[in-house]
A and B are shown apart, each in its own frame.
Chain A
Amino acid sequence: MSVLEIKNLHVNVETDQGTREILRGVDLVINEGEIHAIMGPNGSGKSTLAYTIAGHPKYTVVDGEILLDGENVLEMSVDERARAGLFLAMQYPVEIPGVTVTNFLRTAKTAIDGEAPAIRTWLKDVRGAMSNLKMDQAFAERNVNEGFSGGEKKRNEILQLELLKPKFAVLDETDSGLDVDALKIVSEGVNRAHQTTGLGILLITHYTRILRYIKPDFVHVFVAGRIAEQGGPELADRLEEEGYDRYQVAESAVVEAAAE
């Protein structure tokens, strides 16, 4: 069984104002098949966690470990991580000029599997996955994310999730900016991938809305770069009612206490 372990993770980012510490000791274990929701207010470091797992060069790990089945992920390049079975559904997917969705998907699939997919079954898989996500087949011939609406970009991310079949997927605010219909379609896609491949999911979100459609096994509340509280799905219900204020008051008290 696969497992993704994050141990005492400290991450800095370079800004114009100098070095800022974003993650301040994150511990998390995700087993294959589990769905973990990470919830937290803006600026709490949720996206930093997502991009650090994927290996974005902007973030510097100063302490701690990320292990995938015991292998040191931090020593892997971005593409090696993807080939090892990690996937990041991005919040703001970028446009890739000159590369069609078809060409991109086939190239990525070939890279991940180490061999080109059999043409006939691959085309069928792509068409099927697109129609499940209610994506027009014409998307296949458009350049990746070029001129896509916000909802189309998110669907395109989930399309890749379904076709590339990773062991673990990090979904970075996949729900943000989606209307309710698009949210349902995208959530169905995530659930479908979860059921068919049994992948582990780290669902990063600001809102509880998506948790009506994707049921987490665990909920972690992220505040000021670390996990402030964790529990089962009931924790999400409580957040829905109370919001994040409780944690932020507690956090500022801690910071003040430390300053004295």
Chain B
Amino acid sequence: MTAPQQSTAMPTAEQHGIRAHSDGAGAVVPVQTRSERFCSADVADFAPVNGREHEWKLSPVATFADLTGGELDGSRTPVESVEAEGVSVSWIGRDDVRIGTAGLPEDRGSANAWSSFGEAMLIAVTGEEQKTASVTRTALGSAPRAAHTVIEAAPNSRGLVVLRGTGDARLVENVEILVGEGANLTVVSLQEWSDDSVHLASHFARVGRDAKLKHIVVSLGGKVVRLNPSTHLAEQGGDVEALGLYFSDAGQHLEQQVYVHHDAPHTRSRVTYKGALQGEGARTVWIGDVLIGNAAVGTDSYEQNRNLVLTDGTRADSVPNLEIETGDIEGAGHASATGRFDDEQLFYLMARGIREEEARRLVVRGFLTEIVQQIGSPELEEHLIAALEAELQGS
């Protein structure tokens, strides 16, 4: 647990990485409050990435220097969309008023994508009936690309939007999620990329008054997937359920830096991320920041991360941070645990007649289906259970 840092100095631009700096340099005053972290839509405002910055220090930055520093193809990404009544997919210009209203980049990769995209994909959800729509991006190729997506749920609308990625990709992107007053939106980001793919994404959600967002990140495929969702509970009564599920195989790096900002009274958040690691070099990172601001009286918040280690040679980082600026809250807690499925557990199950492969499956399925069951789409749940079975068979 990290205690809130006390400092009377106002943060300066230098402290935020505009000039080259590093956590190891010694003289740097840490950023005081999570919401005061430097952000900018212009890549030129960020120093080149060296891997020692707090936001990059757990990431394999050398494997995607082209995405954080190089030129990106910002043309429209080919998509296959399954629309539903009340969900439409279109393209909007950079000057659209909605762009930039949910949040701005906090790292150079995100800013590079923002500076490079040509048009943004708009997924608009309207109407009070529940419906499901999906947007799939397949085989984006091996050249570095930028993308920008805006998902807008109109006031009082309801819907589930699936963003799915398959095949090859070297993609860095930003996704803005605007949840209008009283709306109830579920967004599932499903990463099933090919083994060589790299995908960096920042999601910025703004949740309106009495609105509810369920945000689910499922990362299964890709060499490096780093998806950082942040949610701004900007208005009274806002609610976010942030769920994540990841399965890291040998040589795979799956990362998520989750941030929830309680910034209005009576807001609620639940963050639950669960991951499994299997094989030499399987790597996961979870950082969970929750900031309960001054205005957020009556906040109810809980975040947790659980990791299940299936073999030797893996590494799971899990860092929960909780920062509270008001004493008048309902509850705030956090938990993190990384457990091992070890030989004694295997022996126990096998001593009851259960075959080895079935024993592993039993444990992993039991562990991860808690998240799967909360998605709310039977088809997608079935698909994910099958995908998890395949992951288990894969080693």
Contacts and interface: CB of A to CB of B under 8 A. Distances in A.
Interface of A: 54-57, 77-79, 81-83, 87-88, 90, 93-100, 103-104, 107-108, 111-112, 143, 160, 164
A145 B391 CA distance: 27
A160 B352 contact: yes
B348 A93 contact: yes
B349 interface: yes
B196 interface: no
B348 A108 contact: no
Contacts of B362: 99, 103-104, 107
Q: Which 9 residue pairs are nearest across A and B when measured between Cβ atoms?
A: A98-B367, A98-B366, A82-B353, A111-B353, A108-B352, A78-B350, A112-B353, A79-B350, A99-B366
B352 A98 contact: no
A98 B276 CA distance: 12
B95 interface: no
16 contacts: A54-B347, A77-B350, A79-B350, A79-B354, A81-B351, A82-B351, A96-B348, A97-B341, A98-B367, A104-B352, A107-B362, A108-B352, A111-B358, A112-B352, A112-B353, A143-B366
A78 B358 contact: no
Interface of B: 308, 339, 341, 343-345, 347-356, 358, 362-368
B115 to A, nearest CB: 43
Given A57-B347, A160-B352, A164-B353, A100 B366 contact: yes
Nearest to A56: B347
Contact of A103 (B308, B348, B350, B366): B366
A87 B353 CA distance: 9
Contacts of A96: 345, 348-349, 363
A137 B276 CA distance: 30
B294 to A, nearest CB: 38
Contacts, number: 76
Most chain A CB atoms below 10 A, which of B344, B347, B352: B352
Given A103-B362, A111-B358, A94 B353 contact: no
A73 to B, nearest CB: 13
A104 B347 CA distance: 14
Contacts of B353: 79, 82-83, 108, 111-112, 164
A143 B351 CA distance: 17
Nearest to A51: B347
Contacts of A108: 349, 352-354
A82 B341 CA distance: 21
B340 to A, nearest CB: 9
Nearest to B368: A98
A94 B344 contact: yes
A165 B353 CA distance: 12
Most chain B CB atoms below 10 A, which of A57, A78, A103, A107: A78
A55 to B, nearest CB: 8
Contact of B308 (A78, A88, A97, A100): A97
Nearest to A143: B366
Contacts of B352: 82, 104, 108, 111-112, 160, 164
A100 B349 CA distance: 12
Contact of B354 (A95, A107, A143): A107
A96 B344 CA distance: 10
A249 to B, nearest CB: 36
Given A99-B366, A108-B353, A111-B358, A90 B348 contact: yes
A167 B364 CA distance: 31
A52 to B, nearest CB: 12
Contacts of B356: 79
Contacts of A56: 347
